[in-house]
Amino acid sequence: MSTTQETPLSGTDRTRLRRSKERGRSERAALYEVLDAGMICHLGVVTEGGPVVLPTGYGRIADTVYFHGSTAAHSLISARTGSVCMTVTHLDGIVLARSAFHHSVNYRSAVVFGEPRLVHDPDEKLAGLRAVTERLAPGQWDVVRLPDRKELAATAVLALSLTEASVKIRTGPPIDDEEDYALDLWAGVLPVRQSFGDPMPDPRLRPGMTVPDHVLKRA
């Protein structure tokens, strides 16, 4: 079944929230928003030596997420043959309460379960690599040298369906016990933001090379 932004997330035993259910989101649009706001995910795989969690870049096309890596990477080989768990988390604020017990964080998080497939189709493989590149550096794919045949052969691209996923979000001020609101203690939220700095040129740039507009837009 094809899915759209309006299609609700399907609950499964692995994605069903057991705690703080009020923070859950059932809209698929909320999943897309969390994924599209991130650049690095954590990918959990089970290898012969035990579980491994890998920070990795990713890209989304419709209802599929793409990863890439070396064809010789042991972790990617393991991911092709079993279930994985992918997570993306944004820390938006430190929630400072009047009591130690009620301290928290404001966040947006997504968890995706599934069995990735190895991408063989050349067009889809390039599309997946483009999605990963554009997630990290929008506009970059259109200006760089594209992968040649040898580089493509050395690169594995995995596709993970977003069919089985959950989203959890916390916003707002601290929630203290009613009697603690009378305490003379400051409480509130310390916002957390990520920002880009000024571009740092490669020391081996040819003379006269300027920073591209698409890079300056993010600085």
Per-domain boundaries in the chain: 21-177+188-194
CATH of 21-177+188-194, one of 1.10.3720.10, 2.30.110.10, 3.20.20.70, 1.10.3210.50: 2.30.110.10
Q: Tell me the two tokens of residue 111.
A: 């968890």
For residue 112, is pLDDT > 90? yes
Structure-model confidence comparison of residues 208 and 14, the more confident one: 208
Q: pLDDT digit string (tens) for 136-160?
A: 999 999 999 999 999 999 999 999 9
For residue 7, is pLDDT > 70? yes
Q: pLDDT digit string (tens) for 51-78?
A: 999 999 999 999 999 999 887 776 666 6
Q: Tell me the two tokens of residue 145.
A: 């040298």
What pLDDT was estimated at residue 50? 86
What SS3 state is found at 215? helix
**Mean pLDDT confidence for 179-189:** 97
Position 13 confidence tier, pLDDT thresholds 50, 70, 90: confident
**Mean pLDDT confidence for 21-44:** 89
What SS3 state is found at 21? helix
Residue 139 has what DSSP assignment? T
Integer Rg of the chain from CA: 21
| pTM attached to this predicted model | 0.89
For residue 80, is pLDDT > 80? no
Total residues found in the chain within this entry: 219
What pLDDT was estimated at residue 206? 95
Mean pLDDT of the residues in the chain:
90
Residue the block writes with tokens 């959950």: 166
What pLDDT was estimated at residue 1? 45
Do 105 and 93 meet the contact criterion of CB atoms below 8 Å apart?
A: yes
Position 168 confidence tier, pLDDT thresholds 50, 70, 90: very high
